[in-house]
Amino acid sequence: MPAGLSMVRADIALTLTAQGAGSVSSGPVDQSGGAGIVMALVACTAATGTTPTLNVAIEQSANGSTGWAAVTGGAAAQLTGAGSAVAVAIPTQPYVRVTATVGGTTPAVTANVAVLVAND
């Protein structure tokens, strides 16, 4: 690997298809092995309804099943229509996940959220 580059693991963590109001979370991602950088890349292709919103955040847990809490600075900018956003965080726990919350009146949001993990 060229000097200065780190290994990055990435995958689509959440797929929302005409998702109504409420929250959904990805499964846990084991990012142990280093206090790395975690990124959530949000690509929203449609948001309908009255004042639809999409909020995406990175959460962390010590064991990957309980005690999930937001990672400081790990929230993407709120989307209110088609568009993209990025969240970047440095978790202090070994497991991370992304949570998407859809709001508004009769919203329907279609989006993908990818998670990238770059360990030190």
What CA–CA distance (Å, rounded) separates 103 from 120? 36
Residue 33, pLDDT score: 61
Q: Tell me the per-residue pLDDT of 37-64, one tens digit each, with 9 for 90 and over.
A: 899 999 999 999 999 999 999 999 999 9
**Residue ranges of the chain with per-residue pLDDT less than 70:** 1-6, 33-35, 120
What CA–CA distance (Å, rounded) separates 3 from 18? 43
Which of 48, 36, 43, 55 is CA-nearest to residue 100?
Answer: 55
Residue 5, pLDDT score: 67
Beta strands in the chain (DSSP E): 8-19, 22-25, 29-30, 37-61, 69-75, 83-89, 95-118
Domains in the chain (CATH in brackets) are 8-118 (2.60.120.380)
Contacts of 3 (CB under 8 A, 6+ apart): none
